[in-house]
Amino acid sequence: MYKILSQFLTSIAYAMLCTTLFAPERNLFFEAENNYPITIGVEVEKQVESFSSSFEKIDVYTTKHCGNMLVLDGAIQLTQWDNAAYHEMIAHVPLLNHPHPKRVLIIGGGDGGTLSEVLKHQDVAKVTLCEIDGEVIRVSQKYFPEFSKSFSDPRIRAVIDDGAAFIQQYHDYFDIIIVDASDPEGPACVLYSEEFYTDIFNALTADGIVVAQGESPFFHRDLIKEWHIRNKKLFKHAAYYYALVPTYPSGVIGFMYASKSFAPDHHKFLDSKQLPENLHYYTPELHDASFILPAFINSIFK
């Protein structure tokens, strides 16, 4: 009798748990269009923006736990809760790996998050941000005010243009190029092509560094391998590193690092630099550790 009662109570507890997790009153946003075996739900309170620009569908939600959330073409771009991991690692790794990064180009990044991190470096004299969709900048300035002030910095020049066409104007000019692009779909496809990276190589100075959003090592292994092979052909150094971002697919996002001169070793220059203030994710120790990859990721590059 006791065993039957115990099983009954266990069943009731399980049913209550399932009701709590999947109750319809919990308004969960899912990236429904992806083909990943696992998807992440973010509990939203309301949709505050929803429209189509000339390039993509733009949505902004207020969420229960993650602050405001920007979604482009159904894919989460950032939340106020966990964006620091992505923006700090895509910006500070290359900037602290270069002895004198004076001119920086950000391709994409219209939300301003990467820009705000780049501007924390006082040795940066000029930042050019090239965003194809001006509506992303407008919406982000409204709903992510912590980043909007970066656009008024006197060092910043914001350009509304196709990054692939824009970069062809430059040769031996930028010390750092950051490709803060969305997934390789729609208008961002060209930002992952071999032709584009050849133009990046030409636009960089002799000791220039490029870092680009490198997708999830769990879900995009073939793409990562293809990009790494391409970068090794073009650059003296090519590497991959990652950060933990809970609202991105698999909770992990990677970055492609390539440089004409500098291997990804922060110890070379960090001692002579002042570490930016108000960091939430990046540390010098993590800088090195992020390039130490699990076996399954290392196998991609063999």
The catalytic site residues sit at 180
How many Å is the Cα radius of gyration of the chain? 21
The phi, psi pair for 28, rounded to 5°, reads: -100, 135
Neighbours of 9 (CB within 10 A): 10
Strand order of the β-sheet with 103-108 is 156-160, 126-131, 103-108, 174-180, 204-213, 252-259, 237-244
Q: How many CA atoms lie within 13 A of 277 on its CB side?
A: 1
CB 254 within 8 A of CB 217: yes
CA distance 60 to 84: 18
**Terminal-to-terminal C-alpha distance of the chain:** 59
Q: 222: buried, middle or exposed (CB in 10 Å: 19+, 13-18, 0-12)? A: exposed
Concatenating the DSSP letter of every residue in 12-36 gives: HHHHHHHHHHH-TTS-EEE-TT---
Triad 128, 133, 134: Cα angle to 5°: 75
CA distance 15 to 177: 52
CB 235 within 8 A of CB 211: no
CB 156 within 8 A of CB 118: no
